Amino acid sequence: MTNGEINLRDLQHPDIPVPEEMQSNIAVTSLSSLYNWARSRSIWPMLFGLACCAIEMIATAASRFDLARFGMEVMRASPRQADLMIVSGTVTKKMIVPIVRLYNQMPEPKYVLAMGACASGGGPFKEGYNVVSGIDKYVPVDVYVPGCPPTPQALLYGLIALQKKIERQSLGVGASVPWYGGGPSEEVPVPILGPDIVDPRHAELLRKEAQKNRVTPTVAEMLAESAQPESA
């Protein structure tokens, strides 16, 4: 994919034979793969850094690792122009509100890459009182990249994995992705900064818990609770 050269053999449908000498000029392929092939090579990430991982993300975009080789160098500051949200760092309860809002503002098709341990599951800061244990508690994630922080090589690998994922998606009926179905997909409800972060999707659960009239138990209290029936 260097120097703007296009390798048509990548696109070639395996069941339709094209003479060998013509393969560099002609490819017979499906609309889905042509569309996805173009899409996966022009992903615009959102210029959006959260924490330490953002520094490695910037290093990935810089000259040594050169994200431009994958058609992804166009970092957009506005979510309206972005295809991919790289969640690069610890997601805190205070920050999840704008993150969900940003995600909702991205046009479809949109993708989320959880970069690093914190974005994937809370990481070293998971137990913190202000830390969301993984961005996937709120928005759907397409690719997880492990590491603390992942090296630029790891991030590139994750992005290539995302490209492959996009290539497999189908425009056809019974689409594998929500945005080619009928109508717009639903927005993720924006969390509320209450006494602790509140996910509006938990409204019913909250009512049920409220009837018990107790402060939400900690892990230690739940463990002690669950240990009793076990020993009995």
Return the sign of the alpha-carbon dihedral for residues 23, 24, 26, 31.
positive
- 84 marked as part of a ligand binding site: no
Could you tell me the smallest distance in angstroms from the CB atom of residue 207 to another protein? Answer: 5
Could you tell me the smallest distance in angstroms from the CB atom of residue 114 to another protein? Answer: 16
Alpha carbon of 141 to those of 112, 138, 203: distances in Å? 5, 9, 23
- In whole angstroms, give the CA distance from residue 146 to residue 121: 10
- Of residues 68 through 107, those in contact with another protein by CB under 8 A are 77, 89-90, 92-95, 98, 102
Give the residue, chosen from 36, 49, 114, 159, that forms a contact with another protein under the rule CB under 8 A.
49
Give the residue, chosen from 4, 19, 195, 229, that forms a contact with another protein under the rule CB under 8 A.
195
Decide if 74 contacts 46 (C-beta within 8 A): no
Q: Count residues near another protein (CB under 8 A).
A: 70
Does residue 3 interact with another protein by CB under 8 A?
A: no
- In whole angstroms, give the CA distance from residue 152 to residue 64: 10
Alpha helices by DSSP H, 28-92:
31-40, 52-61
The DSSP letter of residue 220 is H
Does residue 190 interact with another protein by CB under 8 A?
A: no
Does residue 153 interact with another protein by CB under 8 A?
A: yes
Does residue 217 interact with another protein by CB under 8 A?
A: yes
Could you tell me the smallest distance in angstroms from the CB atom of residue 18 to another protein? Answer: 29
Cis amide linkage into residue 178, ω under 30° from 0: no
Does residue 230 interact with another protein by CB under 8 A?
A: no
- 21 marked as part of a ligand binding site: no
- The residue ranges of DSSP E strands in 181-222, in sequence order, are 192-193, 197-198
Decide if 130 contacts 160 (C-beta within 8 A): no
- In whole angstroms, give the CA distance from residue 12 to residue 171: 18
Does residue 159 interact with another protein by CB under 8 A?
A: no
Q: Is 106 left (phi over 0), alpha (psi -120 to 50) or beta?
A: beta
Q: Which is nearer to another protein, 13 or 202 (CB)?
A: 202
The first and second tokens of residue 89, run together, are 């760092």
- 118 marked as part of a ligand binding site: yes
Q: Which residues are annotated as a binding site for [4Fe-4S] cluster?
A: 52-53, 118, 148
Where on the chain is the footprint of another protein (CB under 8 A)? 47-52, 54-56, 58-59, 61-66, 77, 89-90, 92-95, 98, 102, 118, 122, 124-133, 137, 148-149, 151, 153, 192-200, 202-203, 205-207, 209-210, 213-220, 222-223, 226
